[in-house]
Amino acid sequence: MRRLLLILNGKSAQREDVRGAVERVRGEGCEVRVRVTYDGDDAAQFAREAVRLAGDARPQVIVAGGGDGTVNQVVAAALEAEPATDCAFGVLPLGTANDFATGLGLPVDDVAAALALCAAAAPRRIDVGRINGRVFVNVASGGSVTRITRETDPRAKRLLGGAAYLIAGASRIGELAPTRAAFAADGFSWEGDFIAMAIGNGRLAGGGVPLCAEARVDDGRLDLTLFPQPDADNLMTLLSGLLREPGSQFDGYARKARFTRLTIEAEEDLALNLDGEPMSARRLDVQVDPAALSFITGK
């Protein structure tokens, strides 16, 4: 009997498929406790409390029920409270994008199957990233283009797929202001203006865009993909390709690096999105914590 704690985003508390998934796993002999979030800090508080429990009161698997932001809140709070916790973690993918769960090979369209994996599958060790001490497990992104992918209407994404990003980018082209910064990592340095950057432990961000197409969550490194500012004639071509097929046609354009430590120094505060959670700073110290987390994956 595996002991599960499901930290469930309150927006999904009334979903019948979630209720059915919990009942099914309980029926197979697992203990499933459910805590539903109401305020913004609830997921983090529930995670902190869970890893500090003793003995059989402590869950064996803490399941983040929500999107990438919920996963980030749960994992970051748990590691802050107990860096060496023996709890494993899992995802019940209930967000709009579910980029991290998709990258892990989890059944994002089958809630019951995803929770069943949390109840039965063997966890494996994965890395986590840190920026100025803050944890991310999937992708940290910044720059004008990544902001557009983040702010694109989820309803348009569901209806139009990747074309929604292209339409949004074309309509907001005047907002594609470059950011100037210097990057220094293991055997890599670059300084100049860029319109998008991504630091990946995972592969996908912005609703399935493979910004760090070659990243692996268990290789002990993070991946950087950096898109310098193009000239005006090529801006729309770049935007089109970046939002639709970033891994294929920019091998000669995007700057890429794989590293254990990276420093970014910008001329002004650089706004980032860490698994859906915002932060900003003028200097960013990035590092990987290898094998820091025990996680249920689909492959």
- Three-class DSSP labels, 8-76: ECHHHCCCHHHHHHHHHHHHCCCEEEEEECCCCCHHHHHHHHHHCCCHHHCCCEEEEEECHHHHHHHHH
Residue with tokens 């939002």: 243
Report, as an integer, the average pLDDT of 84-109: 94
Query: In the predicted model, is pLDDT for residue 156 greater than 90?
Result: no
- Res 22: pLDDT: 97
Instruction: Report the share of the chain in percent with pLDDT over 70.
Output: 82
Mean pLDDT of 174-190: 86
CA-to-CA distance for 97 and 146, rounded, in angstroms? 14
pLDDT digits (tens, 9 = 90+) for 36-54: 999 889 999 999 999 999 9
202 pLDDT above the threshold of 50: yes
Confidence at 183, pLDDT banded by 50, 70, 90: very high
Q: Is the pLDDT of residue 159 over 70?
A: no
276 φ/ψ angles, rounded to the nearest 5 degrees = 95, -5
pLDDT at position 249: 47
Residues 6 or more apart whose Cβ sits within 8 Å of residue 87: 50, 51, 58, 59, 60, 61, 62, 78, 294
Q: Which residue has the higher pLDDT, 88 or 253?
A: 88
Residue 94's closest CA among 108, 107, 76?
Answer: 108
Res. 150 pLDDT band, cuts 50 70 90:
low
Active site residue 23: no
Residue from 31, 80, 265, 277 carrying the catalytic annotation: 277
Please, what is the average pLDDT of the chain?
86
The CA distance from 149 to 189, in Å, is 26
- pLDDT score, position 251: 58
Please tell me which residue, 24 or 145, carries the higher pLDDT value: 24
pLDDT tier, 149 (very low <50, low <70, confident <90, very high otherwise) = low
Give the pLDDT mean for 146-166. Answer: 50
- On the question of pLDDT at 151 being above 80, the answer is no
Count other Cβ atoms within 10 Å, centred on residue 24.
Answer: 17
Give the per-residue pLDDT at 161: 47
Is the pTM here over 0.85, yes or no?
yes
* CA gap 244, 257 in Å, rounded: 21
pLDDT range class, residue 178, cuts 50, 70, 90: confident
DSSP state of 251: T
